[in-house]
Structure 1
């Protein structure tokens, strides 16, 4: 749907209507801005975007935009900002252009990104000057002044562009913003820029979906760093309001606003972990509970990339940056010069966002940990308590077990005592503790001391029977395996056991203590990671096995006939057998 309505003198309730253009009108900021302008009742709004048609959602059927399209107060233009002629067609006759590009932050194509962001901004500026547009307002991220790994407290608009940008898109948007500001007061065009920090809201395709994806995969349970870093978030409707304020200020107070930039936030700094907790709690997911140093997460990302597993490293690095640095901004200039104030509080914005994402809330999908089909990692660990602990089903229980094992490891291996002396001291410590505990009165300072019944230390007959049954089963299985190996029936098992025994021999000859510590750490990580990336790891192992089998087949086919005849099952025939290897 495209309507070329360039009339600026339509009358609505006795007031003159002005024509404006929202470039990127179907993006996160653009949608909210279009709605806000239509509610002001003094604008004819042209929605311009790269989509071939406006494609209203079901929820937009009764929206102000839908009604405005029907009444003629709004129109849609398909615009590719790389095509200057299309830009001119959309903005001709307008008095103001709001520019909010909608390029996906996950793209890695530099040429395409450059032509859309930088060349697109150049085309928009030139088109505005040719069409005698009076005002151009550009929306850019506050990230263009954030140095990687550096804190910013109460930063204002005097901050320069950083020397090293956090991503390619941030670099390109800084160039586009600079181009728009340099065009100020040329050919009658007044410009300014709105720098919003961490925009979120209904329709968000970046921050909220990323948090939900991390919650599904189990990574959101970790607090990166200290968890005390503070960030600024901005609800999208406040960004739209800031654009409207900037337009009004440009039209009346040209000197103090034109050619300037303004930081926009919700004016409510919040800990990043608290924001994530509020968002995930609202969607029914578990809030972060385990604190990890940022360097550990960086190493994990490095290992994942090294293994060539599927991961959106750009988005993950974005979250890592947000969760490890404090960045607060001073919006006093926006409040003073363009009259900005929040129209939606942070808590209300979180609530509205959560409601809009109800389709991906915890209740609408399989709950994490409740699998319709058990994972391979869970099956390998026996589907019992060990699986729950090593797969971090209950973080507190898993962390308690890990910490207890670390203390045992230190007590028996690192303290410098022999194993017997360590065990005797541990038993002595337990006996003394229990003796002192048993002598405590029923109440201490008004606090009731719980009593542990003697039956707590008893082992039931059923448990003992199950334990010995399990030991007997393991013994019998071992006997059958030894018998099978002795008869040469299972060469795959033979090779695997030889490899394991030889590996153990190498480890034991160097440092059994170090190997035990590494095994302890891996036990609480390997199965958890395998469960998250089961398909990718299985695919890599299958590929490795296929290539190994092909190499083995090639080796057998090229062995001398006498050596082939010595192999089990090959007989004394001098003819080399043919081998066919089938990928499973």
Structure 2
């Protein structure tokens, strides 16, 4: 009862948080509640607000007491927006990213641009005093040029690589342009690389890269700096902006401000801290930017033509630009004009984020998902055993060791300039000397114990021998069946396949044996891994090619010369008889 009296005595203000049920919007709602002098209306597209364990009882108590109320609202319905904001003094316009399909430009345009027009018109109609837009630093980034401590004097580029950022820039321009019309004061906050508990883009994407194995790569040198912003600091900045607008600060109304943690960090280091904090391997292989760019173009083509179940490529492209460019911003104007100073340090923010995503740790993910998911086609093709684990890079250290040994053997036999027999003899001699020398060592050498190699290491189990023989018999039976079909002379497709295969094998063995083995070695350690990542897209491409080949073979066999046609009819008659 005392709390209610204290709350009533504060003469609370009514605000609307559009998009308040998700990520940054929810951080803002929780921070407004801690301020104690707000009645909050959350407006968003889901039919009801979901409370999870990370959002303590503060929001639940506020909902039950009436300090917070929830309204399902569609941004394209101006009437719904008007009903919610009627009687409020300020509207915090957060993002509605979950409503938009990144590949559907029309949907993005309608939600971002037309939705913003509806919000502006509703605010003017309801005589709202203040409208604060949650913009993004991406609106001044063209995806091509670095930004070094950019400030508000930066103009928006004429072309923005990311379409969503381009649309957001249009929305920001409309909101700032309506300032001081019908008594409405506006401003926009441009936060950079927002992360934190509840993040639905940056951190989940990083973890997806970690699970798929792509996070081991660093794009470029990895030394490019970026500004990151913890979600609670973004929420704090909105409250600072509202307080500055409420005293009618001329230096704030109609302007945009950059919001960051004021702690630039190497983009690769941020990725590493998130991955290592959740048990994934940090990036360690550097890739040239140009090479990644070409691969990215191929991924975009595959996504557009066949679809992909792994990545939403618009954000993948945006992530590539973030990871390969320097983007730092100057927050001096935000500090001076709206009084913004980060309330959570970058280190604290990263720690809190890792704790919030602890359910997605590597061990828990693999025990919950990886172990129970059906084998991928790549794993089935490789038999699902140790070979599959090596070629699919389940353990990077083991796979790299095998790859290195095979490369050394390839060099020994094919690139050393010696005959194959001579290379084999030298290798056996080297192994003999090494084994004899190892066996001659004392049990203790300079105080270090020498562990003897077990005799079982040189034995081949009966099961392995039986499996090898069974495999050889199986392969021979397949060859025998094809020979039998050829001897009957009634299957032209098999004949052409065998002839082409033999000619191809003859060409390789006579001229390109070493090159073919080298290519096969690299192919084996890359192709299956890539196939597992883009299985659906590659299957679609192969399906199209096989259908085209099948149609070509059908056309060829149906248009054989008449002299060959009786062979088919005769063999068919013989079977009937």
Q: TM-score range by the shorter chain?
A: 0.7 to 0.9
**CA 1:495–1:98: 2 relative to 1, 3 Å:** same
Q: Which residue of 2 aligns with 1:484?
A: 481
**Corresponding position of 2:172:** 177
For residues 193 and 183 of structure 2, the distance between their equivalents in structure 1, rounded to whole angstroms, comes to: 32
Q: How far apart are 1:230 and its partner, in Å?
A: 2.6
Change (3 A) 1:489 1:73: same
Aligned-partner SS, 2:366? coil
Aligned to 2:213: 218
Change (3 A) 1:525 1:199: same
Q: Which residue of 2 aligns with 1:73?
A: 67
Deviations 1:326-375 (A, max 9, x none): 22222222222222122223333233333333444434443587566544
Residues 277, 287 of structure 1: 8 Å contact kept:
yes
Identify which range, 322-331 or 194-203, moves more after superposition.
322-331
TM-superposed CA distance for 1:161, in Å, is: 1.1
Residue of structure 2 in register with 1:571 after alignment: 572
Shift of 1:170: 0.4
Q: Deviations over 1:124-159 (max 9, x none)?
A: 333333433222211111111123143222222222
CA separation of 1:149 and 1:504: change in aligned 2, threshold 3 A:
farther
- Verify the 8 A CA contact 1:561 1:574 in the aligned structure 2: no
Query: 1:297 Cα shift?
Result: 3.3
Aligned residue in 2 for 1:4: none
Q: Is the 8 A contact 2:139 2:156 kept in 1?
A: yes
Alignment partner, residue 525 of structure 1: 526
Change (3 A) 1:503 1:449: farther
**1:251/1:441 Cα in 2 relative to 1: closer, same or farther (>3 Å)?**
farther
Counterpart residue number, 1:582? none
Alignment pair present for 1:156 and 2:151: yes
| Change in 2 beyond 3 A, CA 1:15/1:464 | closer
User: Is the helix fraction higher in 1 or 2?
Assistant: 2
Deviation at 1:193, TM superposition (A): 1.0
Distance in 1 (CA, whole Å) between partners of 2:417 and 2:282 is 40
| 1:527 positional shift | 1.2
Give unmatched runs, 5+ long, in structure 1: 1-9, 576-584
Deviation, 1:481, is 4.5
Question: 1:557: how far off?
Answer: 6.1
SS at structure 2 position matched to 1:263: strand
| CA-to-aligned-CA distance 1:400-454 (integer Å, 9 cap, x gap) | 443454566567666778778988999999999999999999999xx9888686x
1:242-391 map, 5 Å: 242-252=237-247, 254-307=249-302, 308-310=306-308, 311-367=311-367, 370=371, 373-391=374-392
Q: Comparing 240-249 with 471-480, which one deviates more in the overlay?
A: 471-480
For 2:61 and 2:267, the matched residues in 1 are separated by: 38
Tell me the CA shift for residue 526 of structure 1.
Answer: 0.8
Alignment of 1:335-484 (within 5 A): 335-367=335-367, 370=371, 373-406=374-407, 461-463=458-460, 476=473, 479-484=476-481
Partners of 1:441 and 1:260 in 2: CA distance: 80
How many Å separate the matches in 2 of 1:354 and 1:296?
31
Would the alpha carbon gap of residues 96 and 500 (structure 1) be closer, same or farther in structure 2, given more than 3 Å must change? same
**Structure 1: how far apart are the matches of 2:95 and 2:415?**
58
Whole-Å Cα distance in 2 between the matches of residues 394 and 525 of structure 1? 14
Alpha-carbon distance in 2 for matches of 1:199, 1:140: 11
Indicate the residue corresponding to 1:21 in structure 2: 16
**Match in the other structure for 2:31:** 36
Structure 1 position 167 matched with structure 2 position 167: no
8 Å contact 2:278–2:358 — kept in the other structure?
A: yes
The answer to whether structure 1 residue 115 and structure 2 residue 116 are counterparts is: no
| Number of residue equivalences | 561
TM-score under structure 2 length normalisation? 0.82
Provide the secondary structure at the position in 1 that maps to 2:459.
Answer: helix
Higher alpha-carbon deviation: 372-381 or 392-401: 372-381
Q: Which secondary structure state, in structure 2, belongs to the residue aligned with residue 570 of structure 1?
A: helix
2:235 to 229, 236, 240: 240
3-state DSSP of counterpart to 1:113: helix
Q: Are residues 19 and 544 of structure 1, via their aligned partners in 2, closer, same or farther at CA, if it must alter by over 3 Å?
A: same
C-alpha contact 1:565 1:572 (8 A) present in aligned 2: no
Give the corresponding residue for 1:3. Answer: none
The CA distance in 1 between the partners of 2:21 and 2:63, in whole Å, is 14
Asked whether the equivalents of residues 566 and 572 of structure 1 are also in contact (C-alpha less than 8 Å), the reply is no
1:101-133 Cα distance to aligned partner (Å, 9 max, x none):
313464222233222212222333333334332
Unaligned runs of 5+ in 2: none
Aligned residues of 1:225 and 1:293 also touching (Cα < 8 A): yes
Q: Cα–Cα, structure 1 residues 338 and 305, in superposed 2: closer, same or farther, change >3 Å? A: closer
Residues 259-268 or 427-436, more deviating? 427-436
Q: Which moved more, 1:26-35 or 1:342-351?
A: 342-351
CA distance in structure 1 between the aligned counterparts of 2:62 and 2:463, rounded to whole angstroms? 73
Give the RMSD, CA atoms, in angstroms.
Answer: 4.2
How much does 1:525 deviate? Answer: 0.8
TM-score, normalising length: structure 1: 0.81
Number of the residue aligned with 1:96: 90
Distance 1:369 1:28, change over 3 A: closer
Gap change, CA 1:449 and 1:293, over 3 Å in 2: farther
Cα gap change, 1:156 to 1:425, in 2 (>3 Å): farther
Q: Given the superposition, is the C-alpha separation of residues 519 and 18 from structure 1 closer, same or farther in structure 2, using an over 3 Å criterion?
A: same
Deviation at 1:181, TM superposition (A): 1.6
Compared CA separation, residues 275 and 411, structure 1 to 2 (3 A) = same
Q: 1:84 aligns with which of 75, 78, 85?
A: 78
Q: Deviations over 1:539-580 (max 9, x none)?
A: 6546655665566567666767763441498334799xxxxx
- Deviation, 1:384, is 4.6
* C-alpha contact (below 8 Å) 2:443/2:451 kept by paired residues: no
Residue in structure 1 matching 2:188, options 181, 187, 193: 193
1:295-329 superposed Cα distances (whole Å, 9 cap, x missing partner): 34333334444453514211221222222222222
